Amino acid sequence: MTKEIIINATNEETRIAILEDSKLVELFVERPEYERMVGDIYKGRVSRVLPGMQAAFIDIGHEQNAFLHFADFDTSYLDYFVDYEDEEHIDKDHYNSERNFNVYRDLKKDQDILVQIIKEPIGSKGCRVTSGIALPGRFLVLIPGKRHIGISRKIQNPKERKRLRDIARQIIPPHFGLIIRTVAEGKPDKVIKRDLNNLLNTWRKIERKIKRQKAPVLLYKDMAMASSIIRDLFTADVDRVVVDSRKLMRELVSYIKDVAPQLKDKISYYKGMLPIFDKFNIEKEIEKMGNSKVWLKNGAYIVVEPTEALVSIDVNSGKFIGKKDHETNSLRINLEAAREIARQTRLRDLGGIIVIDFIDMVEEENKKKIYNELKREFNKDRSITKIQDMSRFGLIEMTRQRVRPPVLLSLKDSCPTCHGTGLVPTIHAVVGDIERWIQRYRSTHGDRRITIHVRPDVYSYMKKGTYNPLLKLMWKYWIKIRLIPDENLPIGSFAVYDKDDKKRIDEGLK
């Protein structure tokens, strides 16, 4: 499998595309007004503690308070906010022991707290935070206040795991934990030690800010999206990185020279006249992301429908014409659908509960094949996924970790007319609304002459025929109506003015 990272930078936004076998599988978008927030560390203040929700709301200086679930609470932050020398009334042993600290009892309103963003705000919900701090580097993740050594599960060689664990034991400072990242595999101890020193220097700067600055305040800003993608995803299995900005390329090369100099030759500058995303056929895929229907190569299609509660995905045979029996045809469609579902889920960054309705099959062996194919495809995904076996109704239920809002929200706004439903009133519904408005108006006003502005299609319908809907309304309610076509009106709406067409009179009666 070939893997490429394509980066397009403009004055308005930076877009990073991940390609696998020339297919777009992930897309990241960053704008000045919408910067990546995951990983940022704040000195916050407890705004509310809600034991019934097992959560607290933390003021970190944003418009919406951050959400801290008690499951994400860690007592290691207390050492930075409790001065045992000055506060004689505080029981040091009580605060110094995680076993004695009771979050329900001891977490108080207006208390300072150190938190890190783990999920970006989505819709009306604020960001989610944890008080367990982790600083990611190229090869290591530094965890202040913990005594723990972890090694990425993707490093499977037992000898290499033992070597890395021995290195970690030799270099780990007191009161810190370390996680060895996948890219550390095969790296010498000097390189890993240098990465640790960089992380420790960053942490010392954060410590100084904790003591000097008042909450709420940002203490540490994680890398910009392009740099963080290079840090986290630019590994030896990536064939190349192509960038269309010289400035951004210099920044990436400068960073990669320090942490993985052997990879710097894989970064290249795009010199073509055609926009870079057009050159790699990415722009067309981005345009299709807004479509709920996704066609498969064999003529079948899937329908992706995100809702408030879950994401439903339906598999349909479409134009597929099989030459074998129904069971074999269904298996073939479902297998290709499983591969495309995994790609679309990663590409659209769908999260939460996902329910997939595959075409019905009878044989248990075939159902297992679909489940295994889905598992295999989602093994390429960095987000945590949990997949259940296919139910007797042909459904597969799964969950996918949600860290940031779906990428589609950064590319498109909801339609101001249908408000995201995809539905607008029919002409008949609009005419019905006009009649009900006239009823309300005639019950409270004596004026029998009005002017109504409508969309051109509604105008044509109401004026059609000898005994048309407009005449019927005028005879029924004994009112003179002057109808005017107005293409500037939103679909499904109308506007009513006085007889001289000067003063609008419908706004208080709709």
What is the CB neighbour count within 10 angstroms for residue 304?
21
Q: What is the 3-state secondary structure (H, E, C) of 370-412?
A: HHHHHHHHHCCCCCCEEECCCCCCCEEEEEECCCCCCHHHHCC
**Confidence (pLDDT) at 170:** 92
Tell me the three state secondary structure of residue 209: helix
Strand 293-295 relative to strand 217-220: parallel, antiparallel, unpaired? unpaired
Do the beta carbons of residue 473 and residue 438 sit within 8 Å? Answer: yes
**Confidence (pLDDT) at 36:** 74
**Confidence (pLDDT) at 78:** 60
Look at residue 93 and tell me whether its pLDDT is greater than 50. no
| Residue 10 parent element (H or E) | none
pLDDT digits (tens, 9 = 90+) for 157-178: 999 999 999 999 999 988 899 9
pLDDT digits (tens, 9 = 90+) for 268-324: 999 988 999 999 999 999 888 888 999 999 899 999 998 888 999 999 988 887 778
| Residue 495 parent element (H or E) | strand 494-498
pLDDT digits (tens, 9 = 90+) for 51-86: 888 899 999 998 899 999 988 888 765 655 544 333
Instruction: Return d(Cα 222, Cα 409) in angstroms, integer.
Output: 22
Residue type, 357: D
**Confidence (pLDDT) at 83:** 41
Do the beta carbons of residue 138 and residue 82 sit within 8 Å? Answer: no
pLDDT digits (tens, 9 = 90+) for 243-263: 998 988 888 888 888 778 888
**Confidence (pLDDT) at 508:** 65
Q: Which two tokens stand for residue 227?
A: 């740099």
pLDDT digits (tens, 9 = 90+) for 452-491: 999 999 999 999 988 899 999 999 999 999 999 999 999 9
Tell me the three state secondary structure of residue 289: coil
What is the CB neighbour count within 10 angstroms for residue 64?
13
Look at residue 419 and tell me whether its pLDDT is greater than 90. no
- Choose between 13 and 128: higher pLDDT: 128
Q: Which two tokens stand for residue 65?
A: 């308070």
Look at residue 91 and tell me whether its pLDDT is greater than 50. no
**Residue keyed to tokens 């890219």:** 183
User: Residue 393 — very low, low, confident or very high, per pLDDT cuts 50/70/90?
Assistant: confident
Q: What is the pTM of this model?
A: 0.72
Picking from 261, 149, 141, 247, the residue whose alpha carbon sits closest to that of residue 203 is 141
Instruction: Return d(Cα 302, Cα 335) in angstroms, integer.
Output: 12
Contacts 24+ apart (CB under 8 A), 149-157: 149/177, 149/178, 149/179, 149/180, 150/177, 150/178, 150/179, 150/180, 151/179, 151/180, 152/179, 152/180, 152/181, 152/182, 152/184, 154/182, 155/180, 155/182, 155/184, 155/185, 157/185
Return the CA Rg of the chain: 30
Look at residue 138 and tell me whether its pLDDT is greater than 90. no
- Choose between 227 and 300: higher pLDDT: 300
**Confidence (pLDDT) at 420:** 72
| Residue 164 parent element (H or E) | helix 158-171
Calculate what percentage of the chain has a pLDDT beyond 70.
Answer: 93
User: Residue 41 — very low, low, confident or very high, per pLDDT cuts 50/70/90?
Assistant: very high
Strands in 246-285 per DSSP E: 267-269
Instruction: Return d(Cα 209, Cα 102) in angstroms, integer.
Output: 27
The size of the chain, in residues, is: 510
**Confidence (pLDDT) at 33:** 59
Instruction: Return d(Cα 27, Cα 276) in angstroms, integer.
Output: 14
Look at residue 410 and tell me whether its pLDDT is greater than 60. yes
Instruction: Return d(Cα 472, Cα 450) in angstroms, integer.
Output: 15
Instruction: Name the region of 61 (left: φ>0; alpha: ψ -120 to 50; beta: rest).
Output: left
Mean pLDDT of 31-44: 80
- 434: Cβ contacts below 8 Å, ≥ 6 apart: 452, 454, 473, 494
